[in-house]
Structure 1
Amino acid sequence: MAQRESWATRAGFILAAVGSAVGLGNIWRFPYQVGEYGGAAFLVVYLLLILGIGFPVILVEFVVGRHTERNPVGALKRLGTGAWTKIGWVFVTAGFIILSYYSVVAGWTVRYVLLGLQGEYTATPEAAGQQFGAVASGLDAVVFHAIFMVAVIAIVAFGIERGIELSVKVMVPAIIALLIGLAVYAFTLEGAGEAYAYYLSPDFGTIASNWTSILPAAAAQAFFTLSLGMGVMITYASYLGEDRNLAEDAGIIAFLDTGIAFTAGLIAFPILFTAGIPAGSSGPALIFVSLAAAFAELPFGGILGAIFFGVVSIAALSSAISIMEVVTSYLIDEHGVDRVPATAMLGTAMFVVGVPAALDIIFIDVYDLFANGVLLVLGGLLLSIFIGWVVPDLALDELGKGITNIGSLGVTWIWLLRIPVIIALIAVVALNAWDYYGFLTGDFAAWLGENL
């Protein structure tokens, strides 16, 4: 068996993991989720879930990946018996579906960079909505979907050290620097004070009265933004040495990722409030409709918008290569396929699956509500049960490698998984599955009736 690839440096691993986490989930999905679910009320629940669920589940995936040195499917084959060996397929399936439509949305961001450079953002939400409709569906969307997927294939085909690690060492620092610069600019806008009040002052009454909506949305967002449940952290940790402190690395990754998502809000909401556009008005199209319209009202708005969407494009690419690595590593590890043909075959398949989402935006919801709302959390739930109740001693031993004194950390981690994390994830899977059923029998059924 050929020697497996590994990270050249610790910084390379951390930047790759942060790059995976810092993507469309932070800059596209997070602001519109905040807008839809009560501003700071959503932010508070989201931060609590990052700490109470996200961090423990990152450690689960790290432990599984490093111990087995395999992709999610191969990892569970090595660790589990019976039905437990099938858990890895939940991760790989989720990653495959997510990247198929993720690439479509990323293609939109590239298109909006060009619109900004050409000074073509429209100043009213209505006109911006029409512009977004033209960009988000049809042949134009298919072409940019293809362009983005080709870029992903090219980077992953070069491998861990020469492809992924080298690229994220450029992309992630650039993302952070540009976002900080945009946040400083947003601070100077006249609507910043009102925006910060909305974003940073929680109404706990809103949380109490809407927790059945806020909790599952915030949990799904926490999983999506940390790249959990799709096998990325399992796969990336599979290239780690035993001397790494997994808890320390997980803490750095979670902190940087959450900080970048938070910064995206500090940019988006001052711009929206300055332009007088409601924060929850556009849903998933928030940055493409509301923010684009707001940029059109600002001095040098086209250039600012191009910079903003350029950051989103880079962030999307850093995440997409990590998801591609999950499914690529499956073919390499389990079937002995060489990296280049494995990446090309899978990228082509994902492109084809994503074409319906490029042709009609409703398929974004069909894919996203299932993969992000159900599969990601289900994968985390099943793996937490397995680690917490089936192989806890093995997990504690693996976690202890690279940690001088694990102390009570390991016991606390296991019991967090066994009770509160599992209970919370069961509730989230149930609520999100019910919401998805409602979507299929409601909006999607109506769409089918009109179009078939």
Structure 2
Amino acid sequence: MAQSASRETFGSRLGFILSAAGAAVGLGNIWGFPTQAASNGGGAFLLVYLVLILVVAYPMLVVEMAIGRYGQANPVDSMRSLTDNALAKKAGSAVGWLGLSVPSAVLAFYSIVGGWIICYMLGAITDLAGLDQMTQWLKGFSVERNLFGTVLFYVFTILIVQGGVKDGIEKWSTRLMPALFVLFGVMFIYIMMQQGAMDGLRHYLIPDFSKIWDKKLILAAMGQGFFSLTIGGCSMLIYGSYLSKKENLPKMAMNVTLVDTSVAFIAGLVVLPAMFVAMNKGVPIYAADGSLLSSDTLVFRVLPMLFDSLGMLGEVFAVVFFLLLTIAALTSSISMLECPVALVGERFQTKRTPTAWVLGLIIALFSIVIVYHFETLFGLVAMVATQYLQPFTALLFCLFGGWVWRSNAKFNELSLGFDEFRNSLFGKIWPWYIRLVCPLLVAAIIWASFS
């Protein structure tokens, strides 16, 4: 806890909320959430998702942010600070290191998808400019194209992280996140003017109550809520460590949850009506059995087909849409790189700029290996990182926060900026809830991924 005296903090409350929400807002919200909603009954999925965000994800977000703020350090040292027991400290270190492997592993495959998105955005621009050959290359799938996009995505990520908390992460998050909402608003208005959009909106907003108890739907919604807030991904722990002790932590966590959930909800408002507009124009979306076609490639196949059918204006909207996705991907990737950068900077007293570049390039090398062995490695790395590593780490964070972290220290930490914490309803429920209920719910997600 020695770092706290000189440790950088976020400059404003809004800066923290937008940065932490930006870390959570990623392709999971804009790509994953609408795809899951479309695959699992639209409105029924949305309803269950909103309930589970509050029931599962939010209490665990408070745990991660509280551990970070209490430790005032990187994940390894923050986990060590939770106890005075030598053996428990070693176990805490191990959990911290395991936690750090999550953002690094996720970034290794995430940056490749980020690269595709940048290439699609550039492809939409070259399409507007009439550069057909360049457009084909940018929208095609080749090792060279994937390599170009991945490297470009890493350069953007590293440039933001090297600026630090206030001048890098906060500065860019407070620009990129509002831009995300504005672009979404423009797209929503335009898409709702198209034929078929109202059918998509009804499908998304009116739940079929007979589907809400479907086990597959509940587990999909729980997993989506969990990953959309990057629970177990270390980003929230590291951002929590930059949060001022004067702030009401549960309230800040709730604000982050609301912004993140709003982005997922708005993405659904845009993507589901867009799918129905595409269906209206003859683009196949659902198979005969009602399952979603090309769920993995929804944003790369179905929506570009819709944009193509809208002529010149559609090309403009293709640029806007992929700019949206680029922003969402970057606000997440900067938090992933920040985790190892914070550890190395604090442990070895290194300067931020060279640390960001060296660590960024090391993880980029792993991404390049994946690009060259795409068929065998991409799906494997994505599955290991998101289905096994992340939920398992989240479970360990929860167990440590609930059982190992001394109750008095935990209450004192959450009382900072929230004097009435001990006597509040949240203060009475949360401590036992994260000890007993959350671990069982996370275990259910882990079990579901194996079954």
Indicate whether the TM-score tops 0.5.
Answer: yes
How much has 1:403 moved relative to structure 2? 0.8
Corresponding residue number in structure 2 for 1:84: 92
Amino acid in the other structure paired with 1:278: I
Q: Label 1:133 to 1:110 Cα distance change in 2 as closer, same or farther (>3 A).
A: closer
**Residue 404 (structure 2) aligned to one of 375, 383, 390:** 390
Moved more, 149-158 or 411-420: 411-420
Deviation track 1:358-410 (CA, whole Å, cap 9, x = no partner) reads 34256332122221122222122111112222223322221111013222211
**Residue 112 (structure 2) aligned to one of 104, 109, 112:** 104
Alignment of 1:219-368 (within 5 A): 219-276=222-279, 277-278=284-285, 280-299=292-311, 300-359=313-372, 360=374, 363-368=377-382
Deviation track 1:92-117 (CA, whole Å, cap 9, x = no partner) reads 11100111111111111111112222
**Residue 140 (structure 1) aligned to one of 139, 145, 170:** 145
Runs of 5+ in structure 1 lacking a partner?
122-130, 436-452
Q: Does 1:73 align with 2:49?
A: no
Query: Cα RMSD over matched residues?
Result: 2.1
Alpha-carbon distance in 2 for matches of 1:399, 1:120: 53
Amino acid in the other structure paired with 2:409: L
Amino acid in the other structure paired with 2:81: R
Equivalent residues of 1:30, 1:261 under 8 A apart: yes
Q: SS where residue 284 of structure 1 aligns?
A: coil
Corresponding residue number in structure 1 for 2:156: 151
Alpha-carbon distance in 2 for matches of 1:206, 1:361: 35
Amino acid in the other structure paired with 1:263: I
How much has 1:132 moved relative to structure 2? 10
Corresponding residue number in structure 2 for 1:205: 210
How much has 1:79 moved relative to structure 2? 1.6
How much has 1:86 moved relative to structure 2? 1.5
Corresponding residue number in structure 2 for 1:417: 434
Deviation track 1:100-150 (CA, whole Å, cap 9, x = no partner) reads 1111111111111122223389xxxxxxxxx79964441111111001101
Alpha-carbon distance in 1 for matches of 2:128, 2:31: 20
Q: Label 1:135 to 1:215 Cα distance change in 2 as closer, same or farther (>3 A).
A: farther
Q: SS where residue 213 of structure 2 aligns?
A: helix
Deviation track 1:128-187 (CA, whole Å, cap 9, x = no partner) reads xxx799644411111110011011111111111111111111111111111112112222
Amino acid in the other structure paired with 1:253: V
Percent sequence identity is 32
Alpha-carbon distance in 2 for matches of 1:157, 1:23: 20
Equivalent residues of 2:122, 2:138 under 8 A apart: no
Equivalent residues of 1:108, 1:135 under 8 A apart: no
Amino acid in the other structure paired with 2:418: I
Q: Label 1:24 to 1:386 Cα distance change in 2 as closer, same or farther (>3 A).
A: same
Moved more, 171-180 or 196-205: 196-205
Corresponding residue number in structure 1 for 2:388: 374
Deviation track 1:331-381 (CA, whole Å, cap 9, x = no partner) reads 112233321222112111211111244342563321222211222221221
Moved more, 320-329 or 195-204: 195-204
**Residue 14 (structure 1) aligned to one of 14, 17, 22:** 17
Q: SS where residue 36 of structure 2 aligns?
A: helix
**Residue 50 (structure 1) aligned to one of 53, 69, 79:** 53
Equivalent residues of 1:186, 1:266 under 8 A apart: no
Equivalent residues of 1:220, 1:376 under 8 A apart: no
Amino acid in the other structure paired with 1:388: G
Corresponding residue number in structure 1 for 2:133: none
Deviation track 1:219-246 (CA, whole Å, cap 9, x = no partner) reads 3322222122111111111112211011
Amino acid in the other structure paired with 2:124: G
Alpha-carbon distance in 1 for matches of 2:141, 2:168: 29
Q: SS where residue 127 of structure 2 aligns?
A: coil
Q: Label 1:136 to 1:375 Cα distance change in 2 as closer, same or farther (>3 A).
A: farther
Corresponding residue number in structure 2 for 1:447: none
Equivalent residues of 1:132, 1:288 under 8 A apart: no
Equivalent residues of 2:120, 2:138 under 8 A apart: no
Q: Label 1:39 to 1:357 Cα distance change in 2 as closer, same or farther (>3 A).
A: farther
Amino acid in the other structure paired with 1:365: G
Corresponding residue number in structure 2 for 1:161: 166
Runs of 5+ in structure 2 lacking a partner?
130-135, 287-291
Q: When the two structures are superposed, what TM-score results if normalisation uses the length of structure 1?
A: 0.88
Alignment of 1:401-416 (within 5 A): 401-406=416-421, 407-416=424-433
Alpha-carbon distance in 1 for matches of 2:302, 2:161: 34
Equivalent residues of 1:156, 1:164 under 8 A apart: yes
How much has 1:37 moved relative to structure 2? 2.9
